[in-house]
């Protein structure tokens, strides 16, 4: 959803409050990696024109992403409460990353792209690894069994066959 900034930018001190719907149905983390938005709240945005086309944008929304556990690949819902504040000089965006990102959300200087804004916030707030539970046991690398649902028969003995060979040699040395 786009917010027209014409009014707020027309005069120093202007403030605009908006509650807008989020258009995005998926969060694109990287090329070919998408997470479905299982749930999302409207985005509350407040834009304040300090002076000389310098604006502060504050806002908040809540999203639930459908992701997979990094260990066992089970689908999990990750709820994110996004609360943000950005300050940007619309005409002369500074060199720092935040201002450059923000100027991309504003594009031609007339419209604020709320979806782009929220996308950036998800990117910052989403943990690199999401687990279904803190002590998730993952899947067996040999047979693919979800180890949270019970052990598999591969679990006896060392996981790495090369290690088993070493142990065998080692025990033979001890016998001599």
Binding site for Zn ion (CB under 5 A): 69, 71-72, 132, 136, 140, 142-143, 145, 152, 154
Which residue, 2 or 140, has its beta carbon nearer to Zn ion? 140
CB of residue 79 vs Zn ion: minimum separation in angstroms? 17
Conformational region of residue 107, where left means phi above 0, alpha means psi within -120 to 50, and beta covers everything else: left
Question: Whose Cβ is closer to Zn ion: residue 100's or residue 143's?
Answer: 143
Tell me, what DSSP letter sits at residue 165? H
Shortest CB 133 distance to Zn ion, Å: 6
End-to-end CA separation in angstroms for the chain: 77
Nearest to 130 by CA among 84, 66, 173: 66
d(CA 49, CA 77): 37
Q: Minimum Å distance from CB 146 to Zn ion?
A: 8
Nearer to Zn ion, 54 or 152 (CB): 152
Closest approach of Zn ion to the CB of residue 136, in Å = 3
User: In the complex with Zn ion, which residue's Cβ is closer, 1 or 72?
Assistant: 72
* Cβ-based nearer residue to Zn ion, 69 or 117: 69
Shortest spacing between CB 148 and Zn ion, in angstroms: 6
Strand ranges (E), 31-137: 33-40, 43-51, 54-68, 75-89, 111-113
Partners of residue 44 on adjacent β-strands? 19, 60
């Amino acid at each position: 959803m786009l917010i027209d900034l014409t009014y707020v930018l027309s005069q120093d001190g202007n403030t605009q409050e908006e509650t807008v719907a989020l258009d995005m149905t998926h969060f694109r983390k990287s090329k070919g990696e998408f997470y479905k938005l299982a749930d999302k709240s409207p985005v509350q945005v407040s834009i304040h024109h300090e002076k000389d086309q310098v604006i502060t944008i504050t806002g908040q929304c809540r999203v639930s992403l459908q992701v997979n556990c990094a260990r066992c690949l089970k689908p999990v819902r990750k709820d994110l409460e996004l609360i943000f504040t950005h300050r940007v000089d619309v005409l002369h965006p500074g060199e720092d990353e935040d201002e450059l990102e923000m100027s991309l959300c504003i594009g031609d200087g007339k419209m604020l792209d709320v979806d782009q804004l929220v996308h950036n916030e998800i990117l910052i707030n989403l943990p690199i690894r999401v687990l279904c539970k803190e002590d998730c046991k993952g899947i067996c690398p040999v047979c693919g069994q979800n180890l949270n649902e019970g052990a598999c028969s591969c679990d006896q003995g060392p996981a790495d066959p090369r290690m088993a060979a070493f142990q065998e040699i080692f025990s033979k040395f001890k016998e001599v």
